[in-house]
Amino acid sequence: MSWIREKSLNWLQLLCVKVIRSGGVPKHVAFIMDGNRRYAEKNKVEKIEGHTKGDKLMEHGVCVRVIGNLALLPEDIRKLIAEAMFITKENNKAFLNVAFSYTARDEITNAVKSIVAGVERKVLLPSDISQELITNSLYTNNSPNPELVIRTSGEVRLSDFLLWQISCSCIYFTKVLWPEFTFWHMLAAVFYYQRCKEDLVDINRFEANVSAPSNCRIDTFLTELNAYRTAKSEEVGQVVA
């Protein structure tokens, strides 16, 4: 659980972390951060303050990646996003993917369009198209699929969130509102994941067996796609290396 800052924990929390580490611990956890508005209404604070309490960011060593259809956002927001990604791109202690202006259906559609364009430009052959190619063409291509997905606020739905990536993930629903989500709620989610982990082993093994081999065409296409997305991000944000 390297993503937990142990210096900030008391002795009881440290003990619980040691216990939970005896089982499998997810390296990639995804959150559907629901409940900010209800938190604001319940505590009689402004909605923006409710969102501020819900969006806490580790500032040291974190690489920020904002995924979604950023073209739909106002120019000033796109610029801030591009700057945040550019400034933190060399960080590698942890990776934070923020889904903004995002739906899974749009992400999958965007990936398919990119692949079709690659075939039309003769960079790819139709026979190169596979599940793995689509996976590597998604916004999240630089990250492994989440092992644990946590949805707060009592809602029991996925809200079009990472639908391609979480087919083999453990899904944990909790009634607590996102700004009230604590260390103890996190431990409960990890414990639930450990109980479910064995049931997902066969599914993940099957997914690994359907992986298609790569080739120079696919490698070239993916390199060009990532370079194009990076260039567009920096262009929109007017970021100069």
Query: Does some domain include residue 5?
Result: no
- Determine what percent of the chain is predicted with pLDDT higher than 90: 45
Give the pLDDT of residue 19.
81
User: Tens digit of pLDDT for each residue in 45-78?
Assistant: 655 454 454 355 546 688 889 999 888 888 888 8
Structural domain contains residue 223: yes
Q: Is the pLDDT of residue 235 over 80?
A: no
* Mean pLDDT on 131-139: 95
Return the top range by mean pLDDT from 112-116, 174-178, 180-184: 112-116
In a domain, 229, yes or no: yes
Place of tokens 């956002």: 73
Domain assignment of residue 10, yes or no: no
Say if 14 falls within a structural domain: no
Q: What CATH number has the domain bearing residue 66? A: 3.40.1180.10
> Is the model's pLDDT at 239 over the cut of 60?
no
189 pLDDT exceeds 90? Answer: yes
Res. 164 pLDDT band, cuts 50 70 90: very high
Tell me if residue 14 falls in helix, strand or coil. helix
The residue ranking higher by pLDDT, 21 or 99, is 99
Percent of residues, the chain, with pLDDT higher than 70: 78
Q: Tell me the C-alpha distance between 168 and 201, whole Å.
A: 9
Average pLDDT, rounded, for the chain: 83
Confidence band for 223, pLDDT divided at 50, 70 and 90: very high
Does residue 48 fall inside a structural domain? yes
* Span between the terminal Cα atoms of the chain, in Å: 33
- Cα(179)–Cα(97) distance, rounded to whole angstroms? 18
Separation CA 87–CA 108 (nearest Å):
28
The most confident of 38-42, 88-92, 101-105, by mean pLDDT? 101-105
CB 103 within 8 A of CB 67: no
Nearest to 228 by CA among 132, 125, 145, 121: 121
Residue with tokens 């923006």: 48
Q: Is residue 11 part of a domain?
A: no
Distance CA 181, CA 31 (A): 11
Indicate the number of domains in the chain.
Answer: 1
Alpha carbons 171 and 213: distance in angstroms, whole number = 30
* Domain span including residue 214: 26-237
Using CB atoms within 10 A of its CB, is residue 41 exposed (0-12), middle (13-18) or buried (19+)? exposed
Other Cβ atoms within 10 Å of 85 Cβ, number: 19
Q: Letter for the amino acid at 63?
A: C
4 in any annotated domain: no
Is 169 exposed, middle or buried, given 0-12, 13-18 or 19+ CB atoms closer than 10 A?
buried
